[in-house]
């Protein structure tokens, strides 16, 4: 699933090609993805100028005067800027045509993504109640300590709760906890402030690095085999159960907490 760095990389990649351009038409090759595509996408977008491309959590927002088109890439979706005459393939579900002669194409093989509408001045239900961005000033050790106080839930669960902080998915939660030396099952309320400060720093550093890597290795937002070209991740624990820890050599263990697989080092993480 595209995580925050992949979504942010996509935002940065498409923005220079769509900002300030007027939408000349919208082609919907199916009426729905995960949810029905609202009629405003087809009826209200043509003629509008794209004033901004924003990211909130793992959602991309294309802002026009009357509102915002909200895009979620689901499990395997991608957004690409292509020539207007680029032939559509089986999973190319939406084309947003621009006055530049290009199209912004949404591809979603599994159809777990979404294309929704947010009227100007309103906040879509999916965006209400979301926590702060992990790279924003509002997410700091004081905030995390106050949020974790008294909680018996595992710290990894807390990090993956979108009401607490957005966009820290399974991969980056596991990697940040390893870097901070915190066991993923440790009760959130029993972690001292100094360790939480290390955790916040680890989250920021890993996400920022992943975004930089994505920006340098993504090519046209699509690789030759048709799969999204997300950055090659340099992982210490995620997906490495049974392998030696890169720091201490201890065999990494795996466990399922909250129906999510977690890999950790029993020596480095306490």
Catalytic annotation present for 36: no
Contacting residues for 63 by C-beta, under 8 A, at least 6 apart: 50, 51, 52, 53, 54
**CA dihedral in degrees (237, 161, 228, 262; nearest 10)?**
20
Q: Which of 3, 6, 8, 133 is catalytic?
A: 3
* Annotated binding residue 91: yes
Neighbours of 94 (CB within 10 A): 25
Backbone angles phi, psi at 143, to 5 degrees: -65, -45
State yes or no: 105 annotated in a binding site. Answer: no
- The residue whose two tokens read 């209400």 is 128
Would residue 2 show up in a list of annotated catalytic residues for this protein? Answer: yes
Which listed residue (11, 58, 80, 102) is catalytic?
58
- Residues β-bridged to residue 230: none
In the numeric block, the tokens 């700091």 are attached to 140
Active site residue 109: no
Residue 58 falls in the annotated catalytic set? yes
- Tokens of residue 212, six digits: 């930089």
> Length of the chain in residues, anyone?
270
Helix, strand, or coil (residue 72) = strand
At 146, give phi and psi (nearest 5°).
-65, -40
Given 12, 22, 260, 267, the catalytic residue: 260
Nearest Cα to Cα of residue 172 among 121, 254, 235: 235
End-to-end CA, the chain: 28
Distance from C-alpha of 35 to C-alpha of 127, rounded to nearest angstrom: 15
Give binding residues for DNA as ranges. Answer: 91, 110, 151
Residues with a known catalytic role? 2-3, 58, 260
Annotated binding site: which residue ranges?
A: 91, 110, 151
């Amino acid at each position: 699933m595209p995580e925050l760095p992949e979504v942010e990389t996509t935002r940065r990649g498409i923005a220079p090609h769509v900002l300030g351009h007027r939408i000349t038409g919208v082609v919907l090759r199916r009426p729905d993805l995960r949810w029905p595509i609202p009629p405003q996408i087809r009826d209200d977008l043509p003629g509008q100028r794209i004033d901004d491309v924003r990211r909130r959590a793992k959602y991309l927002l294309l802002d026009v005067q009357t509102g915002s088109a909200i895009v979620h890439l689901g499990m395997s979706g991608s957004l690409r800027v292509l020539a207007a005459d680029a032939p559509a393939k089986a999973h190319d579900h939406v084309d947003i045509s621009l006055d530049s002669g290009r199209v912004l194409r949404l591809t979603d093989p599994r159809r777990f993504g979404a294309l929704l509408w947010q009227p100007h001045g309103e906040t879509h239900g999916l965006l209400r109640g979301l926590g702060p961005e992990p790279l924003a000033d509002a997410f700091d050790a004081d905030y995390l300590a106050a949020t974790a106080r008294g909680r018996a839930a595992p710290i990894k669960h807390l990090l993956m709760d979108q009401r607490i902080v957005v966009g820290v998915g399974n991969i980056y939660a596991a990697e940040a906890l390893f870097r901070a030396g915190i066991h993923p099952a440790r009760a959130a309320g029993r972690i001292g402030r100094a360790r939480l400060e290390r955790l916040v720093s680890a989250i920021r550093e890993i996400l920022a690095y992943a975004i930089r890597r994505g920006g340098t290795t993504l090519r046209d937002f699509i690789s030759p085999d048709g799969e999204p070209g997300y950055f090659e991740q340099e992982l210490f624990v995620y997906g490495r159960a049974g392998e030696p820890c890169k720091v201490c050599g201890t065999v990494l263990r795996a466990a399922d907490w909250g129906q999510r697989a977690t890999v950790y080092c029993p020596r480095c993480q306490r």
